[in-house]
Structure 1
């Protein structure tokens, strides 16, 4: 069946513009709807499992960029850009991204370790922790005041450094042993052991 048979004669010259235009509008509406539904799903999962906003927001943004990127590629295909050109551009981008991935390995390691900290909860805000170098050597010790994507901030509890802030890379917590005093177990004065 041909669409031209059902349209008046004056509309025949517009078919080549209208059909791709309607397909593009459909792609954009579907992308927006999918992004909206996934954004709500991620927000509900974050609320249900009490995930920190530092983890939920980047996940939401990543999904949005992936959906709109795919929609952009579909729109370009509908506009007549060949699949070979799109594939070449995509593989070139992936190659550059892989090189950048290896160049930024330590930062990505800290980002991955922050996800592990948020999900496995080896310590929480307010806990006093000590990263142990060896059994006989004292390590980094402090009260957890902030957990971010790359660093965890500790407030130094040593008397001569009281109030100093230490920024510890998140990957260090998975390379060394960790000693922990829960915030609820600390003496009422809040002093660290």
Structure 2
């Protein structure tokens, strides 16, 4: 039994001896690799802190210059990503990786990824165009890509909107640039477009006077430019008036809803009928 034990222990002892010898011969190399790895980790840790600080400082400078919030967020994200790539290359260089090779690999990988993700690159380019030309800013109520809402943020690849019913909608930047952009908040005033139908039996001059007097009672309606009231269409069942007062942009919907109610009550009070769709049928008697 003792002989068998010695036969098993001999290879183990020999292996430990070889390992000890290898560690002794390569101790300097191991120490160097260990230092490089620790140094690379320190570079990543400290570099990430510096990147956040620099990107935050850039954002604060832009905010002090009263730059739009959406633009600030876009530039902040762009600066942070670019600086982190530089930190990553520095960490790899500390590990002994040739930085020129890393840049070449990143370039080749970027080309491959770019071909695979053409949509993402187009979104990035579109984001740059949005920031450069600024068709809208944070807080504006816009209609883009078939979606209407308030602009929450312009990010590197997408624009974030908040709809009036408090839903978040993310629209790719290429979809924003690739279609019409309607900005309802750009100008200080807006025109409210109403169509009011009255009976063919109604006194049109009196109707026009009632419509004007009713709207003039609302202090939110602007005096300049003056409102437009006129007969627009002789429809099948009604004579249609267009009523177009001007208001401040923020008063648009309040004036719209209140005006519809006030006009209905005023027409009823003056005996002016608002007709419903109807059809006249003529019967011819045949002998």
* Residue in structure 2 matched with residue 153 of structure 1 by the alignment: 161
| Count of residue pairs the alignment pairs up | 163
Contact 1:155 1:164 in 2 (8 A): yes
CA contact (8 A) 2:140 2:184 kept: yes
The one of 158, 165, 180 equivalent to 2:183 is 180
Task: State the Cα distance separating 1:93 from its structure 2 match.
Answer: 5.8
Pair 25,183 (structure 1): closer, same or farther in 2 beyond 3 Å: same
Q: Deviation string for 1:122-143 (max 9, x for gaps)?
A: 2123323345xxxxxxx94623
State the Cα deviation string for residues 141-182 of structure 1 (Å, max 9, x = none).
6232433432443638xxxxx888765432233334534232
- Aligned residues of 1:110 and 1:171 also touching (Cα < 8 A): yes
Q: Does 1:142 align with 2:142?
A: no
**Secondary structure at 1:153's aligned position in 2?**
strand
Alignment TM-score, normalising by the size of structure 2 = 0.41
Relative distance call for 1:141 and 1:15 in structure 2 (3 A) is: closer
User: What residue in structure 2 maps to residue 56 of structure 1?
Assistant: 76
Contact 2:141 2:148 in 1 (8 A): yes
Contact 2:36-2:94 within 8 A present in 1 as well: no
Q: 2:174 aligns with which of 171, 174, 191?
A: 171
Pairing of 1:60-71 with structure 2 (within 5 A): 60-71=80-91
Query: For residues 1-193 of structure 1, what are the structure 2 equivalents within 5 Å?
Result: 18=31, 21-22=34-35, 25-26=38-39, 28-30=41-43, 32-50=45-63, 51-53=71-73, 56-57=76-77, 59-77=79-97, 87=101, 91=104, 94-118=107-131, 120-130=133-143, 140=146, 142-147=148-153, 148=155, 149-153=157-161, 155=163, 168-182=171-185, 185=188, 187-189=249-251, 191=253
Which is bigger in relative contact order (C-alpha 8 A, separation at least 6)? 1
1:42 Cα deviation after fit: 1.3
- Larger of the two Rg values belongs to structure: 2
Distance (Å, rounded) in 1 between the aligned partners of 2:116 and 2:44: 32
5+ long unaligned stretches in structure 1: 1-12, 78-82, 132-138, 157-161
Judged with a 3 Å threshold, the aligned counterparts in structure 2 of structure 1 residues 113 and 15 are, in CA distance, closer, same or farther, namely: same
Partner of 1:134: none
CA distance in 2, matches of 1:14, 1:30: 24
